[in-house]
Amino acid sequence: MPRYSAAVIRRRGAGCFLPAGSLHLLAVRTSICYKVGHVSGRASKAACTPVSPVSKEAKMSRNTEELHGITLLGNQKTEYRSDYAPEVLEAFDNKHQGNDYFVKFVCPEFTSLCPMTGQPDFATIVIRYIPDVKMVESKSLKLYLFSFRNHGDFHEDCVNVIMKDLIALMNPKYIEVFGEFTPRGGIAIHPFANYGRPDTPFAELARERLFKHDMQ
């Protein structure tokens, strides 16, 4: 890991004065600065408080048992399925179940087919979710999204199918899927679907996000 000067780190940390050699803590400390001491887009030095140390278990690399079931990552003989294949999705355990956090995926080259004409549709798919026990492995997600390439479905169907398949895989606390499809016939369609676990605060979050996700 490269060592930056104190001046460089100070600039990248938006006002956080961190000594050289503390770069591995920069992202964590900076996020706290913005959360606590955000003033006109800049963080105050007073807000740069130390974070709780990461547990020894969380810092350790994942062992073979924890990687059980992950078969696609690092596989040099990857098969790129070109018709809808939800079975390629793989999951791994969330090692940080004690705190809630968002995971975001952006797929700018999503392709599917119009079910009527067979012409290709192009979109940027954005997925955000709050994990519980299981998390989707990113290479399997890439292959899953690629499998829509020769799949005929409307834009709205694609977004809802993606969300439901990920719910079936992970059972997340919260998930949302947004599809920004390129215009066809002068009209762009941007479907949004989300889910929050019933009878939890995440159901309320889902309802609020659904009503406000695209307010102008």
> Which residues are catalytically annotated?
114, 121
17 Cβ partners below 8 Å, 6+ apart? 6, 10, 45, 48
Q: Provide the token pair at 110.
A: 């999503």
- CA-wise closest residue to 122 among 139, 88, 145, 103: 145
Q: How far is CA 212 from CA 46, 206, 215, in A?
A: 34, 10, 5
**Euclidean distance between CA atoms 62 and 106, whole angstroms:** 25
- CA-wise closest residue to 29 among 41, 42, 45, 16: 16
* Total H helices, total E strands in the chain: 6, 8
- What is the maximum span of the chain, computed from C-alpha positions, in angstroms? 60
Residue linked to tokens 């999503």 = 110
